[in-house]
């Protein structure tokens, strides 16, 4: 593998992050998300979402870079959608398919874990799509324990599994 750089995201990364998110949705979620959700992906709206993460003092957004290209990212901090009494979550966590199973996810996970630990918080959670089995295996391997599984629904709701972690 080429040299890997992990750094805090900056505003000029946001367009590339939006493009990467769409690419990852194509390779990971086609067949899981409704086709219309992927086909109607809004690049500009997602670029703005990434800018909002960077601007928000309660959230951290980091990128993984190889060969001067962003190949993954992780967002963590105060939950964007509160769950029980958890004060911290890993919200977004994506790595390009070609770069999975090379230890990059583990490095990003530990970055978030240590950040949360250093805030004096003793637990956090991660949500994952109920039918993204590869992500579930990874989260279990990282020590996650399932605490909630959403029911499937017909209203285009995306059923989630929530994993909890103790520090």
pLDDT confidence tier of residue 29, bands split at 50, 70 and 90: confident
Mean pLDDT of 29-50: 92
On the question of pLDDT at 156 being above 60, the answer is no
The parent domain of residue 29 ranges over 4-166
pLDDT value at residue 117: 96
Per the structure, how many domains does the chain have?
1
Distance CA 136, CA 157 (A): 19
pLDDT value at residue 155: 57
Cα separations in angstroms, 29 against 25, 128, 139? 5, 12, 17
C-alpha angle with apex 59: 137 to 85, nearest 5 degrees?
A: 70
- CB count, 10 Å around CB of 55? 10
Structural tokens at position 31: 């067949």
pTM value is: 0.93
Bridge partners, residue 152, by sequence? none
Residue 117: give its domain's CATH number: 3.40.630.30
Mean pLDDT of 38-65: 96
pLDDT value at residue 46: 96
């Amino acid at each position: 593998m080429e040299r890997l750089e992990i750094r805090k995201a900056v505003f000029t990364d946001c367009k590339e992050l939006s493009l990467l998110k769409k690419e990852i949705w194509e390779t990971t979620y086609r067949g899981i998300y409704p086709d219309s959700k992927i086909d109607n992906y809004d690049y500009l709206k997602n670029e703005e979402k990434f800018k909002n993460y960077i601007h928000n003092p309660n959230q951290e957004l980091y990128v993984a870079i190889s060969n001067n290209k962003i190949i993954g990212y992780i967002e963590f901090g105060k939950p964007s959608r509160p769950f029980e009494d958890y004060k911290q979550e890993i919200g977004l966590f994506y790595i390009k398919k070609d770069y999975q199973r090379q230890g990059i996810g583990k490095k990003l996970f530990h970055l978030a874990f240590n950040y949360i630990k250093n805030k004096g918080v003793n637990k956090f959670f991660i949500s994952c799509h109920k039918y993204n089995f590869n992500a579930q295996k990874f989260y279990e391997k990282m020590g996650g324990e399932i605490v909630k599984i959403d029911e499937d629904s017909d209203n285009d709701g995306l059923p989630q599994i929530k994993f909890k972690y103790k520090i």
